[in-house]
């Protein structure tokens, strides 16, 4: 779990591989539906990418900075820069395809 306080280190500070950040909240039904897919991807990552989650209710600064207006929202970062995004409940294949572009 990433927070406002750890975002720079845990996401922006990662070099050489993409980091998918899932912006979510506990009350969000589609976010709960997406969680098992992201857990699968995290176990299958084999060092190629990282999966991180940030609770938008508890971490409003980062959510505001990246203009998160709807969740789930998945932003992809590489070498400290946002390079891609997926908004809404995306299927596993779409997430894998997006991550693959940045490996």
Distance CA 16, CA 80 (A): 10
Catalytic residue among 31, 73, 74, 99: 31
> CA dihedral in degrees (9, 10, 15, 18; nearest 10)?
-150
Catalytic residue among 12, 14, 25, 28: 28
Q: Any catalytic annotation for residue 31?
A: yes
Q: Any catalytic annotation for residue 8?
A: no
Q: Cis ω on the peptide bond leading into residue 72 (within 30° of 0)?
A: yes
Catalytic residues: 28, 31
């Amino acid at each position: 779990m990433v927070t406002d306080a750890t975002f720079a280190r845990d996401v922006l500070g990662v070099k050489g591989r993409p980091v998918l950040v899932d912006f979510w909240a506990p009350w969000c039904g589609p976010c709960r539906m997406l969680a098992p897919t992201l857990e699968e991807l995290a176990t299958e990552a084999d060092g190629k990418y990282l999966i991180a989650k940030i609770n938008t209710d508890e971490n409003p600064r980062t959510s505001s900075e990246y203009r998160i207006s709807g969740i789930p929202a998945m932003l992809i970062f590489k070498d400290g820069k946002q390079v891609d995004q997926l908004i809404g409940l995306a299927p596993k294949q779409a997430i894998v395809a997006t991550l693959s572009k940045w490996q």
